[in-house]
Structure 1
Amino acid sequence: MAVTFEKHGQLHYVDPAGHRVSVGDFVMVPTDEGPEVAQCIWAPEGVVQGDFGGLPACLGLATEADLARDRENRKFRSQARIVVNRLVREHDLPMKVIGLDYLDRSKEFDREVIVYFTAPHRVDFRQLVRDLAKALQARIDLRQIGARDATRVTGGIGNCGRDLCCSTHLSRFEPVSMRLAKDQDLPSNPLRVQGACGRLMCCLKYEHPLYQDFLKKAPKIGSRVKTPDGEGKVIGHSVPSDSVVVRVDGTGEVTRCPQADVCPARRAFDSRGRD
C-alpha cells in the first residue's frame, strides 16, 4: 500500500503486514526516528512477487494517543516556522525557509528542529542557530538544499495541470538533458521545457523510454503507409496516443490512426525499376 506523511505529499510504499487498512485510514509507519503517523492513499493490493522488496512493515492503525501526538507536533512546527522566519529577518540573512521538521523523540536529543532553506551562497548562521535554540528550546539543524529539493518540499502544480512528480511519486532525481526534449519532438528552447524548479522537467527522463519504444515500431515521418482511410504519407507522430498522423492521398485529409492499424504501403516502380 502507499501512504503519505503530508497532505498531497510524497508517496511511500509500505507492506500492510496483514493489517486491514482502507484509503483514508491513519497508520503507524516505522522511520529512522521511530514510528510516525501516515495516511493511507493507496489501499493494500497484491503485486507480483519481487516488484516491491524490503518494504517497511505497517505497525497497525494509529491510536487516539498517536493522533494527538501528531496534532501537537504539527502545531509546534507551525509555530516554530513563524519564529524561524522572524529571526531570519532580524538577522537580515539572505536565506529562504522552505520547510521545517520536528522530532520530539530523536535518538540523540530530546527535541530537534530541522530547518530546510535555500540561499544564493553560503550563509553564516551561527548566531541564528543560537537564537533559535534558545527560542524553541531544542537542538537546531539547518540544512541548505537545492532548487529541485526545494520544489519537492513546497510542492505545486506542473505544466500538465497535475501535482509535481517530484513531490508525489519520484523517489530520486536523475540527470535531464536537452537531447531528451529533442527525441520527444519538444521545443529546443530550455525555457519551454523547464519545471517549477527552473530546471528541465523530470518527466523528460522517465517518459523517454516510451518514445524510444514507439519510434522503433512506428513508420518514419515521410514514409508511405496504408490506413483504413486509404494510402497516405506519415506527417507526424502522437506518442501518448500510440498513433501516427497521416495525410490521405486524393482527399488530402489528415487523420490520426492507431499504430496497429497502419502498415507500410508497397512502393510503385516505373518501367526501368526505379521508385
Structure 2
Amino acid sequence: MKEVMGLRFIPNGTIFYYEKGNQSYQLNEKLIVQHGENEEIAKVVIYSKKCHEQDAAYASDNIIRKAEDADLIKEEKNKIEAAQALRIAKERARENKLEMKIIKAQYSFDRQKLTFLFSAAGRVDFRVLVRELASIFRTRIELRQIGARDEAKILGGIGPCGRPLCCSTFLGDFMPVSIKMAKDQGLSLNSAKISGICGRLMCCLNFENEAYEELKRSLPDYGEKIDTPEGQGKVIGLNILSQIVTVRFFKDNKTADYTWEELKGELV
C-alpha cells in the first residue's frame, strides 16, 4: 500500500491523487505542482488515503513546493484576469455566432495556458475563436467542452431538496447512476422528480442504493406466492425501508400489509 493525498486545481473540480513522499502537508494547504505541461496551484482536499501500489497516482516529484505569500497574490491576480478573459471570450463567441455557453476561464499558475470550459448541445467549430483569443491574450488557448453534470458542479446551485448541490460541495467524482436505482428504492419514475438541475438522474440515488439492495435481498419478489395467517396470496407491494410486504389474497382479492418478520419462512 502507498499513501497519497487528494489535490484540487479548481473549486469543486476533479480530485487528483499525488504520492505524499517524505514531506508533511496540511489539509487545505496550497501547493505549487507540475501538472502536465504547466505549473499549477492546488489545494489539499484529502490529507491522506491508502491505495494499492498499482493504483494510478502522480509521483511526489511533481510537487514543487508549498505555496508562499507571493504565490497566493499571483493566484488572486490570475483569478481576476481570468474573469476578465471570460467576459471577452463570451463576447467573441456571440460575435462569431457560436452555439456554445462559456462557463469558466482559468489561467495555469505559470500563465502559459488559458483554459475556457464550455457547454454545447453538439460539436462546435471554435477554431476562429481560438485564434482570436490567442491574439488577445498572447498565451496558449484551450477550449474544453464539458457535460451538464460538470457544468452544475462548477456553477453550483440549490438542489430539489433545498440544499446546496452535492456535486459542488463534497462529491469528488461522479458515480454511475441508473433508473434501476430509482426503481429499487420505490421512487416515482417521473423524470422531473428524480433529476437534478443538470437534467440528469440525481447523484444522491447512488448514496443509499447499497443499503436498499441489502434490505431488498431479504424480501420476497413482486408476484411471488406466499402464505400468510389469513391465507395464501401474491406479493403486490414492498416497502423496503420498513420491511412491509403487501399481499393480495387469492380467495377474495383483498389486500393486507405484513411485516416481513411475520411472514418469514412462509414462502411457497
Q: Deviations over 1:98-157 (max 9, x none)?
A: 22232365xxxx833222222334444343333222221223332333323322332334
1:219/1:264 contact within 8 Å kept: no
3-state secondary structure, aligned to 2:157? coil
- Shift of the 5–129 alpha-carbon distance from structure 1 to 2, 3 Å rule, reads closer
Q: Which moved more, 1:71-80 or 1:180-189?
A: 71-80
Residue 194 (structure 1) shift: 0.6
Amino acid at match of 1:159: P
1:94 aligns to what? Answer: 99
Match of 2:239 among 236, 240, 248: 236
1:37 aligns with 2:31: no
1:19 aligns to what? Answer: 23
3-state secondary structure, aligned to 1:19? coil
1:4 aligns to what? Answer: 8
Matches within 5 A, 1:86-165: 86-103=91-108, 105=110, 111-160=112-161, 161-165=163-167
Amino acid at match of 2:239: G
TM-score (norm 2): 0.69
Residue 201 (structure 1) shift: 1.9
3-state secondary structure, aligned to 1:198? coil
Q: Deviations over 1:234-262 (max 9, x none)?
A: 97332xxxx54699xxxxxx9xx9xxxx8
2:31/2:41 contact within 8 Å kept: yes
How many percent of aligned residue pairs carry the same amino acid?
Answer: 30
- Shift of the 197–22 alpha-carbon distance from structure 1 to 2, 3 Å rule, reads same
Task: For structure 2, list consecutive stretches of 5 or more residues without a partner in the other structure.
Answer: 230-236, 247-256
- Shift of the 4–104 alpha-carbon distance from structure 1 to 2, 3 Å rule, reads closer
TM-score (norm 1): 0.68
- Shift of the 170–22 alpha-carbon distance from structure 1 to 2, 3 Å rule, reads closer
1:10/1:168 contact within 8 Å kept: no
**Residues in 2 aligned to 1:62 and 1:104: alpha-carbon distance in whole angstroms:** 11
Q: Deviations over 1:68-102 (max 9, x none)?
A: 33233222211211211222233343321122232
**Residues in 2 aligned to 1:208 and 1:129: alpha-carbon distance in whole angstroms:** 44
**Residues in 1 aligned to 2:149 and 2:9: alpha-carbon distance in whole angstroms:** 20
In the alignment of these two chains, the number of paired residues is: 239
Residue 173 (structure 1) shift: 5.4
1:9/1:167 contact within 8 Å kept: no
Residue 165 (structure 1) shift: 2.8
2:193 aligns to what? Answer: 192
- Shift of the 28–131 alpha-carbon distance from structure 1 to 2, 3 Å rule, reads closer
Match of 2:90 among 78, 85, 92: 85
- Shift of the 30–164 alpha-carbon distance from structure 1 to 2, 3 Å rule, reads farther
1:216 aligns to what? Answer: 217
1:113/1:141 contact within 8 Å kept: yes
- Shift of the 170–203 alpha-carbon distance from structure 1 to 2, 3 Å rule, reads farther
C-alpha RMSD of matched pairs (Å): 3.8
**Residues in 1 aligned to 2:30 and 2:21: alpha-carbon distance in whole angstroms:** 15
Residue 189 (structure 1) shift: 0.8
**Residues in 2 aligned to 1:50 and 1:24: alpha-carbon distance in whole angstroms:** 24
Residue 196 (structure 1) shift: 1.8
Amino acid at match of 2:105: L
3-state secondary structure, aligned to 1:187? coil
Amino acid at match of 2:68: T
**Residues in 1 aligned to 2:244 and 2:81: alpha-carbon distance in whole angstroms:** 57
Task: For structure 1, list consecutive stretches of 5 or more residues without a partner in the other structure.
Answer: 226-233, 248-253, 269-274
Residue 164 (structure 1) shift: 2.8
Amino acid at match of 1:90: E
Q: Which moved more, 1:58-67 or 1:216-225?
A: 216-225
1:271 aligns to what? Answer: none
2:71 aligns to what? Answer: 66
